[in-house]
Structure formats: C-alpha cells, structure tokens
Amino acid sequence: MNDTYDLRIGESHIEVHKFHGGTILLSVLVAVVLQSFLPIYFAKVAILDLPLLVTIYFGLSRRNPSTGLLLGTVIGLLQDSLSKTPLGLFGISKTVIGYLASSIGARLDTEHPIARFALTAGFFVLHQGIIILVQKLLLAQPQPWFTMRLLVACLVNATLGVFLYYFLDRLRKT
Amino acid sequence: MVALPSRHRSLFLLIGVVLLQVLLLAVQIKRDSQGRLIRVWTVSAVSPVERSGAWGIGKVRDAWRHYFALSDTARENEELRRENGQLKLEVMQLQGKSAEADRLAALLNFKQKQSKVPMIVARVIGSSADANSNVIYLDQGQRDGIRKNMGVITPEGVVGKIIESFRDTSQVLLLTDRDSGVGAMIADSRIQSPVGGSGEPLLSMKYVGNDDEVSVGQRVVTSGMDRIFPKDLPVGTITQVKAGGQYKQIRVRPSANLEKLEEVIVLLTTDPFVLKQDAPPQAGASPLAPAATSVQPTASATTAKPTDKHP
C-alpha cells in the first residue's frame, strides 16, 4: 500500500500525508497533557491552545473530513474532561474545526508557512467564535466576542503553529 | 438506496456529531450532571503522566537551577570564578531548600496548630486544559478523604474549593475563576459581601453599597457565611475602590499566590468550624501563622473522618 497518495481535484494534485504508527495518538496525548500541565509552571503558557493546533495540523495533513472531524471531537472531549466546562463545549468547536481543516486541506496546498499562519489564525478565531456562541446560546453564559487577549492569543498560536507543524512534518512517512 | 457522495457523507457525519454533542450539553444542563464517567477516565489516564511530569520537571528544574545555569559561567571563568560558582551553587541549593522548608514548615505548623480540624496537604499536579477556567488538579482524592465542596487554602489565604473528587486526584476551582465565590467581609468594618473571580488575577467584591466606607489597603477575610470556609481566613487586600451605580466597584488582590501554587491544604470537612484570631497578624508573618490563631471547632467538626455532607 502506498504511504502517500494524490487527491485530484480539477487540475490540482494534493498529497495526502500519512504518519508513523501512533504518531497521531501520541501527539494528541502530549498536546492535551502539556496544555493541562505546563501552566502550573509557566502561567503565560495558558494562552496557547495546543490541542487546537494538533487538530488543525492533522486535519490539514490527512485531508479526510470524516477522520478530521472525529479527531476534533475526541480532542475536544478530552479537553472538556480536563476542564470545568460541560462536555461538548470544546468538542463541538473542535469537531467543526477538524472538519473544515480537512476540507480545506483537500482543496488547497497548505504547506507554505504563510498559508499555515493565516489558516491557523483564522481557525483560532473561528474556534473561539463557536465556543462563545455555544456559551451564549446553549449555556446562557454571556462572553465578550472580542478581547485584546483573544487577538494576542490568535497571533501567538498562529506563530507557534508554524513551528509546531514544521516539527510534526518530520514525523510523516516519506 | 441512493449512495451519498463522500463529501455529503462527511457533512452528515459532522451534523450528526455536533447534534450529539449539543444533546450531551443539554443533558448536562438539565440534569446538572457533568459527564462524570468520561471525566474519571480522562483524569485517570492523564494524572499519572502529570504526576510523573511534576516529578520530572522538579528534578530538571533543580538540576538547571543548581548546576546547568551556572555551568556556562564556570566554563568562562578562571579557577577562582569556578570556585565562586560552586559557592553560589551551594547557596542556591540552600536557599531553595530553605524556601521549601519554610513553605512546608508553614503548612506543617498550620496543620499541627489546627489539629482538631481535619486537613491534608496536597501537591498541585495539573491545571485546566482550558485557558478560560481557573482550575487546578491535586495529587490526592477520594481515597484521602477529599470530597466535593471542601475548602482549599494555603497558609497565606483562601485558594478555592473542591469541585470534583476522583479516586487519587481532585479538581479545585480557584478563587479567580468567573464561577467562583466566597462569603467575605472587610476585616476592620465587618461589612459583608461575597468576593468572586472574574477570570483575571484580581477578585471583585460585589455588593458593598456606595455609602459604605471602604479604602485601599483594607484586608478582606472570610465571613463563614458560605459554610465552606471558617470565619476570618484571609481572602485578600483591597487594591481599588470606585463608585458604581448601586454598589462600589472593589478589586481585591488574593492573599494566596494563585498563579504559583505548589502545595495547598484541603480542609477535610464540610461542617462549619470557627477560626479565632487571638492577635492580628504581624507584618511579614504568614497571615495564618500558628501563634496568631486557634481553632474552636464545632462539635461536628472534631470528627477525624470527613463527611459527605455538602453545604
């Protein structure tokens, strides 16, 4: 079986990447554990959303909307379990992000750092937007749509994403 | 039956999965349940890694502080400088140990002095995976007698309360969280008002009327009205007072350093007990210094075992 194959949409050829066994599972666990663990020692790290970056990366790389959204669901529910939020808050938002990342990944070449930065920033804002929407509509917890912290978090996560994706690229099967 | 194109299949799957989670949310709101089983699984899977991580980071940090951070300096300098570095190393080690010993001694003294109040010292091993909620995880849980709604403090002051207790781990809602609150009063004037978090480092004192006299620097202590914390535990110090519509807008800096918690005390009782202060705390001394406090537990609080009753 081929490790990688091409999706042909119109004239474009977009490669679907595969990873060494256990890479996705391990990456997800490391991201969730670090997200929960590091802020004890470095309070500022709480601004990062490592599980979201992992969801976006594997969505963009695998380019299969079904697996992308299911991976997003699992990661989101794991994150919910380790927070005080009701189960489903992060689950819903990461499900949607996983689906969109996979769908966009199947149509565009998302290997360039600038494209990755822009996509991560966009997904970050959308992710926060979904969370706030769910909080407002379903949980009756009004939250502000925009804060400076959100803007800073968006830029920081997008920047980190570019470097993290570069590292995760090394784990692909060649 | 007509087969759906792959793109539509995933779209239907998306709609199905999102709807399922919306239902999950609705069930939790309706039944006030928090999907405990899934949380127990996740916490059970993650907490051993966090424990190991806390241990590993402690070792790495010690090694970094005590050796590597100084090794560059040592290489760059002559023998005397290296000797100097070694001396610095020893001083740092001693300072680190001294600080840790002070911290643990304060906890131990507090625990010994309040021997009639069941309590346990726990180590912080994790925090929330969500940047918007201020939650920490402790390395002790139901097996150690920790139950939901028990108070969590440090010798400096109130930290928060237990919101979930698992077998070997428990989850603490910090005072700074938006959903957090504690019955409090201003120490001098005894004006009572709940103090709550706002998701920021400072707390808010919410219902103090514009006519009441409040000034910056006044101490805020627990009122005991929430039946979680005993009366007169330090909550914080007022840092800002502004006139508001109906109530003053008062900001309070927490007494406990909630951003750098390593060990905490869990009060292993949900029954009310009274903490009497014989003398006001001295400057520089821990607000809960043993010499300044004595505990008069109510009859029910003298039980060695914690109870399952929630306030």
The pLDDT tens digits for B262-277 are 888 898 876 666 554 4
The minimal CB distance from B25 to the residues A73, A81, A86 is found for A86
Task: Check B127 against A40: CB less than 8 A apart.
Answer: yes
Task: Check B18 against A37: CB less than 8 A apart.
Answer: no
d(CA A28, CA B46): 12
The answer to whether the CB of B190 falls within 8 A of the CB of B213 is no
Task: Check B128 against A87: CB less than 8 A apart.
Answer: no
Mean predicted confidence (pLDDT) in B162-188: 89
The answer to whether the CB of B274 falls within 8 A of the CB of B231 is yes
Strand pairing report for B263-267 and B119-127 = antiparallel
- Interface contact A47, partner B, CB < 8 A: yes
pLDDT at A159: 95
The answer to whether the CB of B257 falls within 8 A of the CB of B156 is yes
Contacts of residue B118, Cβ cutoff 8 Å, sequence gap at least 6: B145, B267, B268, B269, B303, B304, B305, B306
- Continuous segment of H or E residues that includes residue A35: helix A23-41
- Say yes or no to pLDDT of B152 above 90: yes
Task: Check B25 against A87: CB less than 8 A apart.
Answer: yes
The minimal CB distance from B130 to the residues A41, A83, A139 is found for A83
> Which residues from chain A sit within 8 angstroms of residue B57, using beta carbons?
41
DSSP-derived 3-state class of residue A77: helix
pLDDT at B170: 92
Task: Check A40 against B136: CB less than 8 A apart.
Answer: yes
d(CA B192, CA B174): 21
Rg of chain A over all Cα atoms, to the nearest angstrom = 16
- Say yes or no to pLDDT of B290 above 50: no
The answer to whether the CB of B297 falls within 8 A of the CB of B270 is no
d(CA A17, CA A102): 12
Closest CA of chain B from A94, distance in Å: 10
CA nearest to A70, candidates A48, A110, A97: A97
CA atoms within 13 A on the CB side of B104: 8
d(CA A78, CA B270): 30
CB pairs under 8 A between A and B: 140
d(CA B104, CA B96): 12
Q: What is the ipTM of this complex?
A: 0.80
> Which residues from chain A sit within 8 angstroms of residue B21, using beta carbons?
73, 87-88, 91-92, 95
Closest CA of chain A from B116, distance in Å: 31
The answer to pTM > 0.80 is no
- Interface contact A75, partner B, CB < 8 A: no
Amino acid at B203: L
- Chain B (260-279) residues lying within 8 Å, Cβ to Cβ, of chain A: 260-261
Q: Which of B4, B11, B17, B264 to mutate to test the interface with A (most CBs of A within 10 A)?
A: B17
- Interface contact A88, partner B, CB < 8 A: yes
Task: Check B9 against A43: CB less than 8 A apart.
Answer: no
> Which residues from chain A sit within 8 angstroms of residue B176, using beta carbons?
none
Amino acid at B88: K
Confidence of residue A3 (pLDDT cuts 50, 70, 90): very low
For residue B192, the cross-strand partners are: B185
- Interface contact A87, partner B, CB < 8 A: yes
Q: What is the DSSP string of A154-173?
A: HHHHHHHHHHHHHHHHTTB-
Closest CA of chain A from B211, distance in Å: 30
Q: How many CB atoms lie within 10 A of CB A89?
A: 27
What percent of chain B has pLDDT above 70?
70
pLDDT at B178: 86
Task: Check A77 against B38: CB less than 8 A apart.
Answer: yes
Q: What is the DSSP string of B18-75?
A: HHHHHHHHHHHHHHT---HHHHHHHHHHHHHHHHHHHHHHHHHHHHIIIIIHHHHHHH
Name the token pair of B159.
């930290």
- Interface contact A43, partner B, CB < 8 A: yes
- Say yes or no to pLDDT of B5 above 70: no
More confident residue, B114 or B265: B265
- Chain A (131-160) residues lying within 8 Å, Cβ to Cβ, of chain B: 134, 138-139, 153
- Interface contact A129, partner B, CB < 8 A: no
Confidence of residue B126 (pLDDT cuts 50, 70, 90): confident
The answer to whether the CB of B252 falls within 8 A of the CB of B238 is yes
For residue B254, the cross-strand partners are: B236
Name the token pair of B11.
């779209």
Q: What is the DSSP string of B75-136?
A: HHS-HHHHHHHHHHHHHHHHHHHHHHHHHHHHHHHHHHHTTTS-EEEEEEEEE-SSTTS-EE
- Interface contact A105, partner B, CB < 8 A: no
Position of tokens 């994150």?
A: A79
The mean of the pLDDT values for chain B is 76
> Which residues from chain A sit within 8 angstroms of residue B49, using beta carbons?
29, 33, 37
Mean predicted confidence (pLDDT) in B18-27: 86
* pLDDT tens, position by position, B213-262: 888 999 999 888 888 888 888 899 999 998 877 888 999 999 988 887 88
